[in-house]
Amino acid sequence: MGAQTMVFLSQADLVHEALIEKGQVFATRPPENSTRNTLSTSKFHAFRKVRVTAMDKLVDRSKTEAAATGGALDEKTIEKIDDMMKKVLMTIHPRLDDFLPLLRPFFLKQCKQAVEVRQHQITLLAPLIEWRRAVINNPGTKPIFEFSYLDTLFDLKVEGRKDPPTTPEIVTLCSEFLNGGTDTTSTAIEWAIAMFIESPSIQLRLYNEIKSVVGDKKIDETYVNKMPYLNAFVKELLRKHPPSYILLTHSITEPVKLAGYDIPAGTHVEIYLPGIIEDPKIWSNPDRFDPDRFLAGGETTDITVVTGVKMIPFVVGRRICPGLGMALLHVSLMIARMVQEFE
């Protein structure tokens, strides 16, 4: 596309060949990184209280249209950050000049806007980063949270450099982390609500399952794995309506053959999910939204793609999303709480 060589994959067997059989060529990942450390099992469970508070806050805001109190940041600051993150997502949307640089003079206004958004991003997040840095460097200060993703970035070793990331670089890393985890989750929740509107019987069945498992208690993450229909609903949601129909770009590190074709190094590889999730050879009635397909005796799938490529909302192979476990829990918990609280 433009000056960049690109390859689109839309068949399960080609995706398996590229990302599983030849994953080292199609994607690389450092042996250890901050995101994986933050999303490790021990760190993940450490934030259970935060998830409970966040869910309570979501329900309260939905009921009263007012801000709930508590936490390290006031509601006004949170809203500013949320608005800024949305602007960043809109600004970094691919433009024509990204593929045809010779058209750059026609996009000077958009380039100027991107610089302004970037400056606003740094102005808003840098003070919070420096506040956390000061807390960590002061042994006498007891932080609100003992661990955060940000803590892993202060002394991060960057290949080819002696110095750790600068504050603007940390701003970028935090922004990517927030966008990657929030935009995709909110998209899944929106699709879930749309499915309830389209099929109220599904919502009622979920409600009855929650009632039978939890009773009158407030649902929390300890109950999620005890509800097969909820888990089947989330799987079908991610199959039929993944957060994005085109996965994040992969890049080839060296010349390689794929399906018999020679692919040069530096080629961008895009994966188009509808070609897989709508394939009648893989799924029965692929156009139908049917959570029952994942219940006992129905179709099977493995989101981590150990047994084969059927649905890959979290990518696969070396570039599989490190937040897979967190995303599944968050989506399941948020859907369950919303169904429990609202008709």
The DSSP H or E segment spanning 258 is strand 256-258
- Judge contact between 246 and 315, C-beta under 8 A: no
pLDDT, tens digit, 9 for 90 and up, residues 168-193: 889 888 887 777 777 778 888 999 99
Predicted confidence at residue 36, as pLDDT, reads: 40
Q: Which segment, 14-28, 231-245, 294-308, is predicted with the most confidence on average?
A: 231-245
CB contact at 8 A, 233 and 335: yes
Top pLDDT among 287 and 72 is at 287
Q: How far apart are CA 159 and CA 282, in angstroms?
A: 42
Residue 112 pLDDT level (bands cut at 50, 70, 90): confident
pLDDT tens for 122-138 read 998 899 888 888 888 88
Query: Is residue 30 over pLDDT 60?
Result: no
119 pLDDT higher than 50: yes
Percentage above 70 pLDDT, the chain: 80
H-helix segments, 199-306: 200-214, 228-240, 274-277
Give 137-157 pLDDT, tens digit per residue. 887 766 666 677 788 888 888
What is d(CA 174, CA 176) in angstroms, rounded to the nearest whole number? 5
Which pLDDT score is estimated for 335? 92
Q: Which among 258, 221, 242 is positioned nearest to 310, based on CA atoms?
A: 242
**321 labelled as ligand-binding?**
yes
Average pLDDT over residues 251-264: 89
**Has residue 42 got a pLDDT over 50?**
no
Indicate if the pLDDT at residue 252 is higher than 60.
yes
Asked if residue 33 has pLDDT above 60, the reply is no
Residue 48 pLDDT grade (very low, low, confident, very high; cuts 50, 70, 90): low
Which carries the bigger pLDDT value, residue 149 or residue 105? 105
Distance CA 134, CA 127 (A): 10
- What value does the mean pLDDT take over residues 246-258? 85
Given this model, what pLDDT does residue 287 score? Answer: 93
Q: What is the mean pLDDT of residues 197-219?
A: 93
- pLDDT of residue 96 exceeding 80, the answer is no
Residue 103 has pLDDT above 80, yes or no: yes
Mean pLDDT confidence for 17-45? 57
The chain-wide mean pLDDT, for the chain, equals: 79
State the average pLDDT over residues 245-250: 82
Least trusted range by pLDDT, from 71-75, 76-80, 277-281, 324-328: 71-75
Domains and CATH numbers, the chain: 6-71+144-341 (1.10.630.10)
Percent of the chain at pLDDT above 90?
18
